């Protein structure tokens, strides 16, 4: 087996024939974070709700740390948001006492950031990854034809959702994170950089999950329970690999075992890097899913919980010509 691993996965409703332009304009992709809990309005952490355009989440967090003269680890946020988009999210900064002369306009101009600070408050804890309730998306696909065919797909997605694949962004540009994972897990190369090792680990177990899910889609049982399935919140699940025996049995376990057999070395190694086996739902059900046509443009609105990918919804609708590259 080589490290040139295919990223293709099975389509739930057949490979789309329609194409659309994706991310033609910055405002074609809008994300609003939903915290799902109230901030305390007191405490040692300054919290800022920031709307940003074309800015990377980590980049903004690093600039906040520099501007307020704190360590990067003192800045928290709930999730990485897309760069080529308008995104609104909360940041926390461990700052027991904010300087009285803080000039937030200077923060924007000093680092040439396209950001707007919407609200400021305080909280008793640092904001942690995945602590939020979800993300609300509004996405515009342009120059799209074959509307009649797409209406049927959209109705099916509204009824059954889509396979809960990890998006290709998890695997890095051109699958680079998987190449790194293969060299680490199979060839025995050492990854000294902690962040890169974490990316390789995440990419590897995400890829294994996608393999199992793709086989379930191929067998048309990804949104149905088969004998021996581990069901969580009403949905069948597949493993996120790590230490511990699989909780599935019967037909479900046989399917997982067969799908992952070519990657037994990956599985063995992932059991020895501190990860414990977890489960992830096979089915992604977009909440409040709706759509609107304007000539040849299709605007989609939906809400996803943390860890689920909007691109996994879009790929079932049409083929995307990404204009942001």
Which residues have a catalytic role annotated? 82
Characterise 103 by phi-psi region: left (phi > 0), alpha (psi -120 to 50), beta (else). beta
Rounded to whole angstroms, how far apart are CA atoms 252 and 237?
A: 9
Give me the half-sphere count of Cα atoms (radius 13 Å) on the Cβ side of residue 322: 7
Rounded to whole angstroms, how far apart are CA atoms 26 and 6?
A: 30
Give the DSSP H or E segment for 280: strand 278-281
Nearest to 239, CA basis, from 253, 222, 224: 253
Rounded to whole angstroms, how far apart are CA atoms 2 and 297?
A: 41
CB atoms within 10 A of CB 40: 13
CB atoms within 10 A of CB 98: 12
Chain centre distance of CA 232: 20
Strand order in the sheet with 231-232: 231-232, 235-240, 278-281
Angle between helix axes 250-260 and 194-218 (nearest 10 degrees) is 120
- Report the chain's C-alpha Rg in angstroms: 21
Nearest to 46, CA basis, from 98, 4, 83, 107: 98
Q: Which residue has the tokens 């021996």?
A: 228
Rounded to whole angstroms, how far apart are CA atoms 18 and 24?
A: 17
């Amino acid at each position: 087996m080589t490290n040139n691993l295919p990223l293709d996965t099975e389509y739930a409703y057949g490979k789309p024939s329609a194409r659309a332009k994706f991310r033609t304009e910055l405002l074609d992709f809008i994300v609003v974070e939903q915290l799902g809990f109230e901030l305390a309005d007191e405490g040692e952490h300054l919290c800022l709700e920031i709307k940003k355009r074309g800015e990377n989440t980590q980049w903004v967090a690093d600039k906040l740390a520099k501007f307020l003269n704190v360590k990067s680890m003192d800045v928290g946020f709930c999730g990485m948001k897309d760069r080529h988009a308008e995104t609104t999210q909360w940041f926390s900064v461990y700052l027991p006492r904010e300087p009285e002369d803080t000039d937030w306009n200077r923060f924007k101009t000093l680092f040439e950031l396209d950001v707007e600070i919407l609200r400021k408050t305080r909280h008793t804890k640092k904001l942690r990854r995945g602590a939020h309730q979800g993300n609300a998306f509004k996405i515009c696909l342009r120059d799209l034809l074959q509307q009649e065919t797409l209406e049927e797909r959209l109705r099916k997605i509204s009824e059954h959702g889509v396979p809960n694949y990890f998006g290709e962004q998890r695997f890095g540009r051109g699958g680079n994170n998987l190449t790194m994972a293969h060299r680490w897990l199979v060839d025995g190369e050492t990854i000294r950089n902690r962040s890169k090792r974490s990316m390789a680990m995440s990419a590897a177990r995400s890829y294994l999950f996608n393999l199992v899910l793709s086989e379930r889609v191929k067998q048309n049982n990804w949104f149905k329970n088969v004998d021996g399935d581990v069901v969580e919140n009403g949905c069948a699940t597949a493993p996120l690999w790590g230490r511990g025996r699989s909780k599935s049995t019967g037909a479900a376990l046989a399917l997982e075992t067969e799908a992952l057999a070519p990657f037994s070395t990956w599985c063995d190694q992932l059991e020895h890097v501190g990860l414990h086996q977890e489960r992830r739902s096979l089915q992604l059900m977009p909440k409040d899913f709706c759509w609107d046509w304007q000539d040849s443009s299709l605007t989609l609105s939906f809400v996803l919980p943390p860890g689920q990918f909007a691109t996994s919804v879009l790929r079932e609708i049409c083929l995307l010509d990404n204009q942001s590259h």
